[in-house]
Amino acid sequence: MTLRHAERKWAALAGLVFVLALLPAFVHSDYLLSLFDTAGIYAIVVMGLGILLGFAGQLSLAQAAFLGIGAYTSGWLTTHLGWSAWPSMGAAMALSAMVGLAVGYPCLRLSGHYLALATIGFGIITQLVLINWKSVTNGSDGMGNIPAPQIGSFVFDSYARYYYIVLVAVLACAYVAWRIKTTRVGRALEAIRENEIAARATGIDATRYKIIAFVLAGAYAGLAGSLLAHMTKFISPDSYSFDQSVVFLVMLIVGGSASISGAILGAVLLWFLPEVLRPLKTSYIMVYGAAVVAMIVFMPRGLVGLLETLRSRFVRRRPDAA
């Protein structure tokens, strides 16, 4: 029991990863596994949004559009040009990041509600393009036969196999986000979030760092979109709606916006919440809406804040524990 705090944290993290890696050995339902895969993919999108909103304080309601750009890039490259899945994922990430740059740059002058609205506009235009640019996107019919990734002759064509790709991607994205948060870039973003004028006065190049945040959010969503496309093998424009962007925002806020674990927790919890509520049948999305209001009213700092409060109480009561 003499492990220092940091070591304990790493040990806990390693244990968690170990448990997560064993999950497909215990969960045999394809349906459940597909839910886990999607939850992980959404966690990536929400982490990207977390960098933009939680770290840098810039609200975007276009994450679903970037997800769509990633998915369609992957879909088009594999089905029209015959690329294999891995380079398509890279390309999807790169293109989405570039679009993030193109959207972020002109949006730099905007903040708060204005920025939110400009990104809503971008999201709606993107979805309309996906629906109407039929020669590339195949319109509302969607795009099918997107191949699964493979290494040699090993094809990631089941949800259990795909789970490991998602797990590695989530860990990599969480690591990058953590590196950003704990280094110079993260501190600069935090300074911008708290007070942009003061940040500029201390010599922080706010323009550059905000663009970095936009590009990263785009790249995360692009990767997630590509992962989703190669998992479901079929994509259609209605999955990339404004409502979906709102869902990502709610996931982040409910989880705890400035925290990486909060982003992951929020995404997973809110993705599974409708499943838990499914016995309520038709009323479940209604209850989901009410639950969102209740969570935001009663958990001011999100799930992570709630857990911290609980832990500090627990620790105070039993000072010898752990």
Partner 1 sequence: MHFDPVANMQLLVSGLAFGSIYALVALGFVLIYNAVGVVNFAQGEFVMFPSYIAVTFLLPAITVFGTVVHWQLPIVGVYLLVLVLMVGFGLLFNRIAYHPLRDRGWMPVVISTIGVSIFLRNAAQMIWGSQPIVMPSLFAVDTISVGPLHIRPQDLLIIGVTAVLIAFQFFLFERTTLGKQMRATAQDRATARLVGVRVGRIVAITFVYSALLGTISGLLVAPLFTVTKEMGALIALKAFAASIVGGFGSIPGAIVGGLAIGVIETFGGFYISSAYVDAIAFIILISVLLVRPQGLFGERVAEKA
Interacting residue with partner 1 among 10, 17, 300, 312 (CB under 8 A): 300
Stretch in the footprint of partner 1 (CB under 8 A) among 38-46, 64-72, 120-128, 176-184: 120-128
Compute the least distance from the CB of residue 237 to partner 1, in Å: 12
CA dist 84 to 80, 81, 111, 152, 234, Å?
11, 9, 40, 12, 16
Q: How many helices, marked H, and strands, marked E, lie in the chain?
A: 14, 2
Q: Which residues pair with 85 in a beta bridge?
A: none
- Closest CB to partner 1 among residues 68, 149: 68
Q: Which of 95, 165, 250, 273 binds partner 1 (CB under 8 A)?
A: 250
Tell me the closest approach of the beta carbon of residue 243 to partner 1, in angstroms. Answer: 8
Cα(180)–Cα(161) distance, rounded to whole angstroms?
30
Q: Where are the alpha helices (DSSP H) in the chain?
A: 5-26, 30-49, 63-80, 85-107, 112-132, 134-137, 159-182, 184-194, 196-201, 206-232, 242-255, 260-276, 284-298, 302-317
Least CB distance to partner 1 at residue 295 (A): 8
Q: Cα(273)–Cα(271) distance, rounded to whole angstroms?
A: 6
CB of 291 to partner 1, least distance (A): 8
- How far apart are CB 37 and partner 1 at their closest, in Å? 24
Does the protein bind partner 1 through residue 276 (CB under 8 A)?
A: no
Selected from 3, 9, 19, 106, the binder of partner 1 by CB under 8 A is 106
- Rank residues 149 and 255 by Cβ distance to partner 1 and give the closer one: 255
DSSP state letters, 246-261: HHHHHHHHHH-TT-HH
**Cα end-to-end span (Å), the chain:** 7
At a CB cut-off of 8 Å and minimum separation 6, what does 273 contact? 288, 291
The tokens describing 245, both together, are: 């962007």
Where do the DSSP E strands lie in the chain?
Answer: 150-151, 154-155
Does position 19 interact with partner 1 (CB under 8 A)? The reply is no
User: Whose Cβ is closer to partner 1: residue 10's or residue 114's?
Assistant: 114
Residues in region 199-228 near partner 1 by CB under 8 A: none
Which region, judged by CB under 8 A, interacts with partner 1, from 30-38, 105-113, 152-160, 232-240? 105-113
- Residue from 282, 317, 319, 321 touching partner 1 (CB under 8 A): that is 282
Is the Cβ of residue 15 or residue 112 nearer to partner 1 in the bound state?
112
Give the total residue count for the chain: 322
Q: Which of 172, 286, 310, 315 binds partner 1 (CB under 8 A)?
A: 286
The DSSP output letter for 235 is: B
Which stretches of the chain bind partner 1, using CB under 8 A? 59, 106, 109-110, 112-114, 116-118, 120-122, 124-125, 128, 131-132, 242, 246, 249-250, 253-254, 257, 282-283, 285-286, 288-293, 296-297, 300
